[in-house]
């Protein structure tokens, strides 16, 4: 294997790119546990990423995401594309343990060499993903998987981190979850590029489709569809006059509807509708590429990831230095009401600026260097 102890980064990268399952799996484990030993390989790997189309699948618990992912993988395989799957399930906030059960529904793909399935626990992340998700996607991407599907934890109303990682987001709904007010709330319902009503053989599926369509049409009229939806619609201008109610009325209704994200019915259990769903995802991908929005979206996502990583590093450095003790002391004073939050923050900011930058000890050419 040769990747235990101090792995040779070039060797690890070569094995990952050659699709060696154990090296891929071990690199993911190392990235997940924050092992500094894997960082050199991840750096080298980065330039080999960006080829895979990343598809996020999100929706409430029990909506059939895992079964749907299984059928998506099957359909992609029939079309000759290799697929990586990252399936996220929650960690216990108390013990840190987790039961990762998404593989149960994916057994049909178990022995296919063109499929790599990895289960991740959230390990404290609250946005529906796990901290190591981005690195896991990059590792699978570099390993040559042409589509990487991320299945989020079962989401409620506000876990929207998937938009920061996926090129195309599938939002899975099912009949019977609530009335039409659910569809007009902010949050999860806004992030879909393709909307799926799964378990469509059940009563009420058509109603859910109508409610989602109505939500999307209203969003278009009110805002020109908003950031995420614009990408799906292919329009680059928000709230331009043609998107006002009057503008919509003038427009050919078919052309208008064609701009909205598709809403599709599936029965994942039988595979019904999954072919059309894959078509819709691929059409979204083509639109993203053609319009240049893919680059735009990836830049925004990279900025978000960089900011989050920087914030984590600044905090880690602060805590490791003399300011760490100061932070705890200030926290005590906050609790006893001797100080207020803003006062404490100013004191800490003072420490940060007095020591120059918290990253002052770091070489400017190596912003991603591991900590001490």
For the record, the structure tokens of 322 come out as 């003399």
Alpha-carbon span 24 to 142, nearest angstrom: 10
Count of residues of this chain found to bind another protein when the rule CB under 8 A is applied: 32
- The interface with another protein within residues 155-194 (CB under 8 A) comprises none
Burial classification of residue 142, based on how many CB atoms lie within 10 Å of its CB (0-12 exposed, 13-18 middle, 19 or more buried): buried
Q: Is 291 helix (H, G, I), strand (E, B) or coil?
A: helix
Query: 39: closest CA among 49, 30, 51, 48?
Result: 30
Minimal distance, residue 29 CB to another protein, in Å: 4
Which of 150, 185, 153, 156 shows the shortest CA–CA distance to 170?
Answer: 150
User: What b/e readout covers 272-288, taking b as 16+ CB neighbours within 10 angstroms?
Assistant: ebbeebbebbbebbebb
Q: DSSP string spanning 310-336?
A: HHHHHHHHHHHSHHHHHHHHHHHHHHT
DSSP state, 277?
A: H
Contact status: 29 vs another protein (CB under 8 A) = yes
Judged by CB under 8 A, the residue of 8, 18, 25, 239 near another protein is 25
Between 90 and 233, name the residue whose CB sits nearer to another protein: 90
By C-beta, is 40 or 304 nearer to another protein? 40
Using alpha carbons, select from 341, 308, 345, 306 the residue that is nearest to residue 323.
Answer: 345
Q: Which is nearer to another protein, 95 or 363 (CB)?
A: 95
Q: Is 34 in the site for another protein (CB under 8 A)?
A: yes
- Of the pair 319, 340, the CB lying nearest another protein is at 319
Taking the least distance from each CB to another protein, the nearer of 106 and 163 is: 106
Listed ranges 30-38, 57-65, 201-209, 327-335: which one lies at the site for another protein (CB under 8 A): 30-38
Shortest approach of another protein to residue 35 CB, angstroms? 7
Distance in Å from the first CA to the final CA of the chain: 28
Nearer to another protein, 154 or 224 (CB): 154
Q: 152 near 137, Cβ under 8 Å?
A: no
Provide the minimum distance between the beta carbon of 311 and another protein in the complex, in angstroms, as a whole number: 22
Give the whole-angstrom CA distance, residue 246 versus residue 221: 9
Query: Shortest approach of another protein to residue 92 CB, angstroms?
Result: 7
Least spacing, CB of residue 126 vs another protein, in Å = 18
- When binding is defined by CB under 8 A, the residue of 96, 178, 322, 332 that contacts another protein is 96
Interacting residues with another protein between 100 and 129 (CB under 8 A): 100-101, 103-104, 107, 110-111, 116-119, 121, 123
Q: Does 92 bind another protein (CB under 8 A)?
A: yes
Q: Are 228 and 199 in contact (CB under 8 A)?
A: no
Min dist. Cβ of residue 4 to another protein (A): 8
What letter does residue 170 receive in the DSSP assignment? Answer: E
The residues that touch another protein, with contacts defined as CB under 8 A, are: 1, 4, 21-22, 24-26, 28-29, 33-35, 91-92, 95-101, 103-104, 107, 110-111, 116-119, 121, 123
């Amino acid at each position: 294997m040769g990747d235990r102890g101090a792995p040779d980064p070039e060797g690890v990268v070569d094995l990952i790119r050659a699709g060696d399952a154990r090296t891929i799996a071990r690199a993911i484990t190392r990235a997940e546990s924050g092992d500094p030993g894997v960082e050199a390989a991840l750096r080298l790997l980065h330039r080999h990423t960006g080829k895979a189309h990343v598809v996020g699948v999100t929706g409430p618990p029990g909506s059939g995401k895992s079964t749907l992912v299984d059928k998506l993988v099957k359909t992609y395989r029939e079309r000759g594309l290799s697929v990586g799957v990252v399936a996220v399930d929650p960690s216990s906030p108390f013990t840190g343990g987790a039961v990762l059960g998404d593989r149960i529904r994916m057994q049909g793909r178990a022995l296919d060499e063109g499929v790599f399935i990895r289960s991740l626990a959230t390990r404290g992340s609250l946005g529906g993903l796990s901290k190591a998700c981005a690195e896991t996607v990059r590792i699978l991407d570099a390993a040559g998987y042409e589509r990487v599907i991320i299945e989020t934890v079962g989401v409620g109303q506000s876990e929207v981190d998937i938009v920061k990682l996926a090129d195309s987001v599938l939002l899975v709904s099912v009949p019977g979850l609530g009335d039409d007010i659910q569809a007009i709330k902010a949050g999860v319902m806004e992030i879909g590029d393709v909307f799926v009503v799964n378990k469509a053989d059940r009563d009420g599926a058509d109603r859910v489709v109508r409610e989602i369509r109505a939500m999307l049409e209203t969003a278009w009229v009110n805002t020109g569809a908003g950031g995420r939806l614009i990408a799906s619609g292919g329009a680059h201008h928000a709230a331009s006059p043609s998107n006002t109610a009057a503008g919509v009325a003038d427009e050919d209704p078919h052309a208008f509807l064609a701009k909205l994200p598709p809403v599709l019915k599936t029965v994942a259990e039988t595979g019904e509708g999954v072919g059309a769903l894959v078509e819709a995802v691929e059409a979204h991908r083509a639109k993203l590429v053609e319009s240049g929005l893919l680059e735009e979206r990836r830049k925004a996502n990279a900025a978000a990831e960089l900011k989050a990583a920087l914030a984590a590093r600044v905090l880690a450095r602060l805590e490791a230095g003399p300011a760490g003790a100061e932070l705890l002391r200030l926290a005590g004073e906050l609790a006893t009401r001797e100080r207020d939050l803003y006062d404490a923050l100013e004191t800490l900011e003072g420490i940060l600026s007095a020591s120059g930058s918290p990253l002052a000890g770091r070489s400017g050419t190596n912003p991603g260097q591991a900590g001490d």
